[in-house]
Each structure stands twice: as structure tokens, then as C-alpha cells.
Amino acid sequence: MEILDARLGILALLAAMGYGVATIGMKLASDSWTVPAMGLILLGFFAATQAEIVLMRGVSLSVLYLVIIAVETLIVLTYAFSIGEGLSARESLGGVLIFAGLAVVSH
């Protein structure tokens, strides 16, 4: 497995944050299409795309997506809890198992 250096780690975080921002925009758009919702979607996908293009030059796709999915999931779950859409105990356990599986396959 490749180890992400600081620069690549920051870019991976930026990509995950981009997807997280786009997801928040989609949640806002699910109530009604507004300019802020569309702006978040476009900004998020643009940031994620730009970061991933640079990342793909130095990190294998499999490692890259494991990192991005894990960080994006934490961002979106944090937002979900903040708007009152948290997980049940059973769903939380399932999430822990997913993160455990990511840890196993990434090593």
C-alpha cells in the first residue's frame, strides 16, 4: 500500500470534502432547487474533480478511493447528525463494520 504524504493527504481531504459539500447541496436541493444548493453541488464536484485528477498522478485508484470514501462518509454523517438525521444503533454498528472492512482491505 502506498503511504500518502502530507500534500497528497491534503488533496485527498479536499476531494472528500468536495464530495461532502456536493452531497449537502443535493440534500438542500431535495427540498427545493435553489441557487445556494446548485452552487454547493457545482463547487463540491469541481473541487473533488480537480483534487482527484492531481491525486491520480501519484496514488493508485484503489488506495485513493478507500481514503476518499472513508473521509467523505464521516463528513456526510456529521452533517446528517447536525440536521437530526442520525443513525440508529443497528445502522451505526453496520457503519463500524464497513470502516473495519475498509481498514482490512487497505493494509
Whether residue 76 is contained in a domain is answered as: yes
Residue 65 is predicted with a pLDDT of 82
Residue 96 is predicted with a pLDDT of 86
Q: Which percentage of the chain shows pLDDT scores above 90?
A: 38
Our count of domains for the chain comes to 1
Whether residue 100 is contained in a domain is answered as: yes
Residue 38 is predicted with a pLDDT of 97
Q: Using H for helix, E for strand and C for coil, what is the string for the chain?
A: CCCCCHHHHHHHHHHHHHHHHHHHHHHHHHHCCCHHHHHHHHHHHHHHHHHHHHHCCCCCHHHHHHHHHHHHHHHHHHHHHHCCCCCCHHHHHHHHHHHHHHHHHCC
Q: Is residue 94 scored above 90 in pLDDT?
A: no
Assign 74 a pLDDT band (cuts: 50, 70, 90): confident
Residue 1 is predicted with a pLDDT of 40
Give the domain extent around 79: 6-105
Whether residue 1 is contained in a domain is answered as: no
Assign 4 a pLDDT band (cuts: 50, 70, 90): low
Distance CA 104, CA 91 (A): 20
